[in-house]
C-alpha cells in the first residue's frame, strides 16, 4: 500500500496543485493555451521518442494486443451509445455520451502513471494504445456527427471533406507523428547526437508535471455546476467496466508480458479525457454535461486508479 501511495501521491498532488492554483489565481482559461501547446506538441512527443526509438523493432508487432485492447474500447463505446439511444438522445448527443464512457485521458495521465508504476517497459504498449485508440475516435466521431441531422459543422462537409478531416486528424496528431518517427528511428537504429538527446531528455522530464498540472487547472476552470443523470452509469462504465473488460480480453493472449497487460488495463481505467468536452464544444452538443463527466470521473479515479495500482503491484510481486 505504501509503495502505491508513493507512486500516486506525487502525481495526483500535481493535479491538486493545478486545481488549487486555478481556483486561487483567476487567470483566464486562455492562459493555458501555450502550456497545452508545449505539452502536446513538444514535451510528450519528446517523451515518446526517448522511449520508443530505443525499443527493438519486433516489440511493435503486436496485432493481437491492439485488437483486444481496442476491441474493449469499441464494445464500451457501443454500449454507451446504445444506452444514450435508449434514453432517446439524438446521434450527436449519443456520440458525446459514448465518448464520455470510453475516451480516457490516455495522453496527459496515461504515460506518467504507466511509467511510474511499471517502468520504461510500459512505453511501447502505452504509445500503441494511444495511437490506435485516438485514430479510432478520430474516425468514429466525425462519421457519426456527419449522420446527425442537427449538426451544422457536419452538414457543411461533403463525404470527401469528412474523409480528409479524418485523415488529417490522424496523421498530423503530434503523438502519432512522434510514434511513427520513433518507429522509423528504431528500424534505422538511429540515435540523435548527444546535445539533441539531452534536450529531448529535458523535454521528456517536463512532460508529466506539466500535463498533470494543466489537468488540475482545467478542472478548476470548468467547475462542476450540476451532476447529470447520465453520470450514474457513464462514470462507473469508464472507471470500472472498461478496465475489467480490457483485462478479460487481454488475459486471453498467451505469453503477453505482464507489463503490457497491466499498462493496457491502466490506460482503460483512466478518467474521461478533456478532449471529450472539446469535441462537445466543436460540435455544439452535450457540452455542460460532458464537462461534468470529465470532472466527476477525474475525481473518482483517484480512488479507482489507486485500488487498481495496489492490485497491480501485488500481482507483480507474486
At residue 173, φ and ψ (nearest 5 deg) are: -65, 130
DSSP bridge partners of 104: 272
pLDDT digits (tens, 9 = 90+) for 266-276: 999 999 998 89
Nine-digit cell string for 204: 521528456
d(CA 39, CA 224): 25
Q: Average the pLDDT over 260-284 and give the result.
A: 93
- Whole-angstrom Cα Rg for the chain: 19
With DSSP H G I counted as helix, E B as strand and the rest as coil, what are the percentages for the chain, rounded to 5? 80, 0, 20
pLDDT for the residue numbered 155 = 52
Q: Average the pLDDT over 178-196 and give the result.
A: 90
pLDDT for the residue numbered 1 = 64
DSSP bridge partners of 272: 104
- Quick one: fold of 2-317? Na+/H+ antiporter like fold (1.20.1530)
d(CA 301, CA 238): 10
Question: Residue 153 — very low, low, confident or very high, per pLDDT cuts 50/70/90?
Answer: low
Q: Average the pLDDT over 137-152 and give the result.
A: 78
Question: Residue 164 — very low, low, confident or very high, per pLDDT cuts 50/70/90?
Answer: confident
pLDDT digits (tens, 9 = 90+) for 39-73: 989 999 999 898 889 888 888 888 899 999 999 99
Q: Average the pLDDT over 4-29 and give the result.
A: 86
DSSP three-state, residue 316: helix
| Residue 253 predicted with pLDDT over 80 | yes
pLDDT for the residue numbered 308 = 94
d(CA 138, CA 157): 16
Considering only CA atoms, which of 277, 247, 278 is closest in space to residue 263?
247
Average pLDDT value for the chain: 89
Question: Residue 149 — very low, low, confident or very high, per pLDDT cuts 50/70/90?
Answer: low
pLDDT for the residue numbered 193 = 93
pLDDT for the residue numbered 163 = 76
Helices 159-171 and 174-188: crossing angle in degrees, nearest 10, is 60
Amino acid at each position: 500500500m505504501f509503495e502505491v501511495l508513493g507512486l500516486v501521491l506525487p502525481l495526483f498532488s500535481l493535479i491538486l496543485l493545478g486545481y488549487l492554483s486555478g481556483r486561487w489565481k483567476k487567470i483566464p482559461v486562455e492562459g493555458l493555451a501555450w502550456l497545452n501547446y508545449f505539452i502536446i506538441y513538444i514535451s510528450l512527443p519528446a517523451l515518446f521518442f526517448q522511449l520508443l526509438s530505443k525499443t527493438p523493432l519486433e516489440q511493435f508487432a503486436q496485432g493481437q494486443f491492439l485488437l483486444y485492447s481496442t476491441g474493449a474500447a469499441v464494445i464500451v463505446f457501443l454500449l454507451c451509445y446504445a444506452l444514450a439511444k435508449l434514453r432517446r438522445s439524438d446521434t450527436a448527443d449519443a456520440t458525446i455520451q459514448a465518448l464520455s464512457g470510453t475516451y480516457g485521458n490516455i495522453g496527459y495521465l496515461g504515460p506518467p502513471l504507466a511509467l511510474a508504476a511499471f517502468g520504461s517497459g510500459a512505453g511501447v504498449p502505452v504509445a500503441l494504445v494511444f495511437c490506435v485508440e485516438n485514430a479510432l475516435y478520430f474516425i468514429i466521431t466525425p462519421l457519426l456527427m456527419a449522420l446527425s441531422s442537427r449538426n451544422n459543422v457536419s452538414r457543411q462537409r461533403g463525404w470527401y471533406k469528412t474523409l480528409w478531416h479524418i485523415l488529417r486528424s490522424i496523421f498530423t496528431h503530434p503523438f502519432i507523428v512522434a510514434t511513427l518517427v520513433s518507429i522509423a528511428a528504431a528500424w534505422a537504429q538511429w540515435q540523435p547526437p548527444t546535445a539533441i538527446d539531452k534536450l529531448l531528455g529535458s523535454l521528456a522530464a517536463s512532460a508529466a508535471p506539466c500535463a498533470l498540472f494543466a489537468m488540475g487547472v482545467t478542472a478548476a476552470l470548468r467547475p462542476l455546476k450540476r451532476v447529470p443523470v447520465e453520470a450514474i452509469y457513464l462514470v462507473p462504465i469508464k472507471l470500472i467496466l472498461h478496465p475489467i473488460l480490457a483485462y478479460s480480453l487481454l488475459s486471453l493472449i498467451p505469453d503477453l508480458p505482464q507489463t503490457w497487460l497491466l499498462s493496457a488495463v491502466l490506460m482503460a481505467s483512466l478518467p474521461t479525457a478533456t478532449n471529450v468536452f472539446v469535441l462537445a464544444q466543436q460540435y455544439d452538443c452535450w457540452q455542460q454535461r460532458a464537462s461534468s463527466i470529465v470532472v466527476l470521473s477525474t475525481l473518482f479515479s483517484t480512488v479507482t486508479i489507486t485500488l487498481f495500482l495496489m492490485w497491480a503491484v501485488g500481482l507483480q510481486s507474486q
